[in-house]
Structure 1
Amino acid sequence: MREIQQKIDAMILHLGGYWRPLSGLARLLEEVGEVGGAMRKGTADELKEELLDVLVISTCLANQYAISLQQPEVNGGEVTKEQLYFQIVEEAGEVARILNAYEGDKKLKPNRHGESLQLHIEQLQRAVISLGEQCNYELFDSLYALIDEKSTRDFGRFDHTPDPITEDSVRTYIAYQFGRYWGGIEPKPFERFDRYMEREKHLARFIKIAHIEGLDGFVIPQPTDGLLYDRDQQYKIPESFHIVEETYGKHHFLVVKPQ
């Protein structure tokens, strides 16, 4: 799965960048509906194509939250194709519930133990792979071909959308530190840290979900004439987070980390 995630990430960057998560969610639900349509019509080629699209878009959502997916195993036992589709619909609904809480208007539940986005994306993909297995589709083999096709066919089709998983800051940082990180935009020359916090909206998203999803940190680049950060000043960061300064070669970073 790591190789697939990396190939899909490279494809998305080649095409222009990730959709905003709620837009990606809308595409996921659209494809889940098209899986149902293909099953109802009994069109094998169309069903295979729609299952592949569900795998790609759900993997995109996982990438956006720095999730390392586990290889999905095929469901054992006597499970019908219809039951597997119901599982796909159910898990897509769980993904929607979580993303609406992270990115939309739904309130987060106080107790979310065991209800991470990773859990439901993996269960969604397990049902997809199991349905493909029952239909005698080699979905993983076909997935590589689909990635190559989309990279060529759709190049330049989408406008670039800034995303904390594609910022240069995090791409540079994870070359030095392994983990699940988001990255911030480049500070303006001599910008105060409190002003930067107001301008970098993804930091507020990170603080909202970092503990639930197990994100390791939010990386902020620190050029020589960049951020004016005073370690003795009290910033509007919850007590469950702390800020550290790190240097690797010529690269300097501030990293907001969960306690």
Structure 2
Amino acid sequence: MREVQQKIDTMILHLGGYWRPLSGLARLLEEVGEVGGALRKDAQDELKEELLDVLVISTCLANQYAIALQQPEAEVGETKERLYFQIVEEAGEVARILNAYEGDKKLKRNRQGQSLQHHIEQLQRAVLSLGAIHHLNLFDSLFALIEEKSARDFGRFDHTPDPITESSVRAYQTHQSGRYWGGIPVKSFERFDRYIEREQHIERFYRIAGIEGLDGFVIQQKRDGLILPATLPVQEGFITTFEQYGPETFLVIRPDK
């Protein structure tokens, strides 16, 4: 599954970048509806296409929260109707969580085992199981779809800044593995408080990190970069560390576990 996530990440960057999470959610729900339409019409080729789209978009959402998905195993003994109901149910749970993370729903700490990762994995398991009933080898087709889209449609999507694609986190993860988001580039001699005002994702990180298990928020420091106060004003429950890797310096905000 790690290879699938990496290939989809490369494809999405080739196409222009990730959508905003709520936009990605809208696309996911659209494709779930189209799966239902293909089932109602008994359109096999259309069903395969829509199931693949659900796999791709749900994996994109997982990537945006630095989730390492587990390889789903197809279930046996379920009917196609019950599997479709499960797809709808799990897509609804993904919507509930993302509305709390990114929308205006009140954020509540998830019940044990009810993280975004859990529901995306359950959704993908139901998708693969439904494909198996229809004798569709979705994983083989998924790799072919990724290769096809990666070979064309360059820049198809408008670029949307995302904390999983910032150069800071990509550079940091050449030195450390884990579940990290990254901050936008620092301006020369920029005060830390001004940087935090410009950075649109740090507040999201504070809300989500403890629930989804994010390891840190990475800011790449330049030689003429941030002007830092004696005490960094980070939210209660978080700490800061400085890490040096050769010529590269990173300021990392971490949950105080």
Instruction: Please indicate the TM-score interval, normalised by the length of the shorter structure.
Output: over 0.9
TM-score computed with the length of structure 1 as normaliser: 0.97
**Structure 1 segment 148-227 matched on structure 2, within 5 A:** 148-227=147-226
Deviates more, 1:112-121 or 1:163-172: 112-121
Match of 2:176, SS state, is coil
**Structure 1 segment 71-110 matched on structure 2, within 5 A:** 71-76=71-76, 78-110=77-109
Alignment partners' CA distance in 2, 1:167 and 1:12: 14
Alpha carbons 1:95, 1:117 under 8 Å: kept: yes
Alignment partners' CA distance in 2, 1:164 and 1:111: 22
Deviation at 1:156, TM superposition (A): 1.9
1:233 aligns with 2:252: no
Equivalent AA in structure 1 for residue 219 of structure 2? I
Structure 2 residue aligned with 1:255: 252
Cα deviation 1:16-64 (Å, max 9, x = unaligned): 0000000000000000000000000000000000000000000000000
Match of 1:153, SS state, is coil
Alignment partners' CA distance in 2, 1:63 and 1:169: 16
**Structure 1 segment 96-135 matched on structure 2, within 5 A:** 96-110=95-109, 112-135=111-134
Change (3 A) 1:111 1:25: closer
Cα deviation 1:195-218 (Å, max 9, x = unaligned): 111110101110110000000000
Structure 1 residue aligned with 2:29: 29
Structure 2 residue aligned with 1:67: 67
TM-score computed with the length of structure 2 as normaliser: 0.97
Alignment partners' CA distance in 2, 1:201 and 1:208: 13
Alignment partners' CA distance in 1, 2:235 and 2:151: 45
Flag structure 2 segments of 5+ consecutive residues without an equivalent: none
Cα deviation 1:89-123 (Å, max 9, x = unaligned): 00000000000000000011245432210000000
Structure 2 residue aligned with 1:56: 56
Alignment partners' CA distance in 1, 2:154 and 2:110: 42
Deviation at 1:188, TM superposition (A): 1.0
Cα deviation 1:126-152 (Å, max 9, x = unaligned): 000000111100000000110111123
Alpha carbons 2:109, 2:211 under 8 Å: kept: no
Change (3 A) 1:209 1:42: same
Equivalent AA in structure 2 for residue 157 of structure 1? R
Equivalent AA in structure 1 for residue 124 of structure 2? Q
Alpha carbons 1:112, 1:212 under 8 Å: kept: no
1:243 is aligned, of 240, 243, 249, to: 240
Residue-pair matches, total: 256
Structure 2 residue aligned with 1:43: 43
Alignment partners' CA distance in 1, 2:17 and 2:30: 20
Flag structure 1 segments of 5+ consecutive residues without an equivalent: none
Alignment partners' CA distance in 2, 1:202 and 1:125: 27
Give the CA RMSD over aligned residues: 1.0
